[in-house]
Structure 1
Amino acid sequence: MPVVAWVTLVAATLVIALTAVALLRVIVHLKHVTGTLDTLIGGVESIADRTGTVPARLISVNATLKPVRDWTETV
């Protein structure tokens, strides 16, 4: 084989190897980001559970406070 062919093969091998290493680094970073996002999603779900809407059982409290609301509307 001529020298030019060997140089081309070595250059192609280097380019492919560097690209493979770069892609492996991207994969590692994406796995780290996935773990961070899973933790973040868990935190957001926890906050959503703790700050949900008022349950329907508080309707009786609202009914009890209706006279107070009516009085404040007259003020």
Structure 2
Amino acid sequence: MPAAAWTTLAVAALIVLFAAVGLFRVVLHLVHVRRTLGSVLGGVRLVAERTAPVPGALESVNADLKPVRDFCETV
């Protein structure tokens, strides 16, 4: 095989190697992003859980505030 063929094969192998390393780095970044988004999603779920409506307590709060509402209506 001539030297030009070996050089072409070596250059092609280097290109494939660098492309593989680049794709591997992209995969590692995507794994990191996936973990981060999982943490963010857990935080959002926790906030949604803690700020959920309280319809059961709302009636008792309204009943407790009835004297205040009655007083404000007389003013």
* Fold in common (TM above 0.5): yes
Unaligned runs of 5+ in 2: none
Q: What is the TM-score when the length of structure 1 is the normalising length? A: 0.77
Residue 25 of structure 2 corresponds to which residue in structure 1? 25
Decide whether aligned partners of structure 1 residues 70 and 4 sit closer, same or farther in structure 2, where only a CA change above 3 A counts.
farther
After TM superposition, which residue ranges in structure 1, 4 or more long, deviate above 6 angstroms?
Answer: none
Aligned residues: 75
Gap runs ≥5 in structure 1: none
Tell me how far 1:33 sits from its aligned partner: 1.0
**In angstroms, what is the RMSD of aligned CA positions?**
2.0
Q: With structure 2 as the length reference, what TM-score do the two structures score?
A: 0.77
**Which segment drifts farther, 35-44 or 55-64?**
55-64
Q: Kindly, what percent of the aligned residue pairs are identical?
A: 55
